[in-house]
Amino acid sequence: MKNNLYKNLVKQYYEELWNKQNRNYIDILFDDNITFRGSFNVEGKGKKEFEKYMDNVLIGIPNLYHGVEIMVFENELLATRAVYNGTHKGELFGFEATNNRIKYNGASFFRFNNDKIADVWVLGDLVTLHKQLVHK
């Protein structure tokens, strides 16, 4: 059943790729032509571009943890609501390190192709995050 397969792929996306920072999962999880859109007006295509995006995020928040609260699957698409936690230790998309503990919510939408993740669109609560990135 595709529902369970896709939910498992997304669980691995968060747990193995992001939380454990195991970049081997880029090849395991993603279609070769993966497209992605991040909350900081970042768009890219391909596994190498995604890896650069991931590196930039983890420079800013090296201990970033993604906690998935809910997953919904409908019409071959999967949506998640997550909470992101970490410490702002390095430059993050123009914001110098504050060493602030950050916590904000977001939603991500996944599309699949040949049982791989083909598209990721992340919508984070940038208002809440921004407040935490500018106050030391």
| Residue 30 bridge partners (DSSP) | 117
Q: How far apart are CA 132 and CA 4, in angstroms?
A: 36
User: pLDDT per residue over 67-99, tens digit each?
Assistant: 999 999 998 899 999 999 999 999 988 889 999
CA distance 122 to 18: 14
pTM for the whole structure = 0.94
Token duo for residue 28: 């395991």
When divided into structural domains, the chain yields a total of 1
pLDDT digits (tens, 9 = 90+) for 118-132: 999 999 999 999 899
* The pLDDT of residue 136: 63
Q: What are the backbone angles phi and psi of residue 63, rounded to the nearest 5°?
A: -105, 30
Segment 17-31, tens digit of pLDDT: 999 999 999 999 999
The token pair that represents 38 in the structure block: 């991040």
Question: How does DSSP classify residue 14?
Answer: I
pLDDT of res. 3? 87
In tens, the pLDDT along 28-63 reads 999 999 999 988 889 999 999 999 999 999 999 999
CATH number, residue 80? 3.10.450.50
pLDDT of residue 66: 97
Contact 19, 10 (CB under 8 A): no
**Domain hosting residue 111, numbered range:** 2-134
